[in-house]
Amino acid sequence: MIEAIALSILQGITEFIPVSSSGHIFYAGQKFMDIAYNLPFMISVHMGSALAIVLYFSQQLKKMLVSLLRIKNSDYSKERLLWKYILVGSIPAAIAGALFEPVIEKITTNLLVGICWIINGVILVSGEFYSQKKDQRQLNIYTAIFVGISQAIAILPGISRSGSTITAARLSGIEPEKAFEFSFLLGIIAIVGSFILEIFKKPGGFNSFCFIAAAVSFLSGYSSLLVLSKAVKLSRMKWFGFYTIIMGIIVLTGKMI
């Protein structure tokens, strides 16, 4: 049970802060293999993560849902436009997942995770530096596509979804708060999509540990959203980048923590 709680915390935190949950779960899974790759467990922690996003962005999501019901109301034109950008931005990841996810699962090794962690760190550090030199722009269809492609690349273990999408948005001139928001509104579809796919695998075997895992993932995930939001606003993303570079070096040199 202690191992399950520890992995739930790990999943909840790394799902959102830009250090790659897939890389951490793979790395930790070598010590806790029976838990890390237990399907009911993974469904539970993903559900907790999804609920954390829904609660955090509840006001924005409420407006977006109302915009679909009041289709002719001009007061919700921004929300309807945001729906368009989210749907367009979700296409690259959906294609990448359908075509490459089974292959990536087979070829994932410590070598791949280590290399991707270092790449992730370079993206965060350099991305934060160059994004501060960009003139601010409004979100548009081209930015949505660029961010969507960045999310698709994050299918690789060790590349952070939140890190790559926020960095892509910032490099496009989107202000920090909007980049953070768009990244996670886009992420809802990705996370819920993976959750649904896992459900279709007919996992069975849900128990009280799964409920605990979902609750722990929700609490740790919500907390990490608060931390990341502040880090984005204060331009502190690079520190997560330094962390993943160090983790990548540790993995590549064969030193297990």
> DSSP assignment, residue 13?
H
Structure tokens at 84: 């368009």
Per residue of the chain (257 residues), what is the pLDDT tens digit? 666 677 778 878 888 999 998 888 888 776 555 554 466 677 778 788 889 999 999 999 999 999 988 888 888 889 999 999 999 999 999 899 889 988 988 888 889 999 999 999 999 999 999 988 888 899 999 999 999 999 999 999 999 999 999 999 999 999 999 999 999 999 888 777 766 766 666 556 666 677 888 888 899 999 999 999 999 999 999 999 999 999 999 999 976 54
Q: Which residues contact 27 (CB under 8 A, 6 or more apart)?
A: 110, 113, 247, 251
pTM of the model: 0.90
Residues 6+ apart with CB under 8 A from 200: none
- Distance, in Å, from the CA atom of 131 to the CA atom of 129, rounded to the nearest integer, reads 6
Distances from the Cα of 207 to the Cα of 191, 195, 211, 223, angstroms: 22, 17, 7, 25
Residue that has been written with the tokens 């520190």 in this structure: 239
Q: Tell me the C-alpha to C-alpha distance, in Å, between residue 60 and each of 53, 67, 87, 105, 178.
A: 11, 11, 16, 34, 12
Query: 228 with 125: CB under 8 angstroms?
Result: no
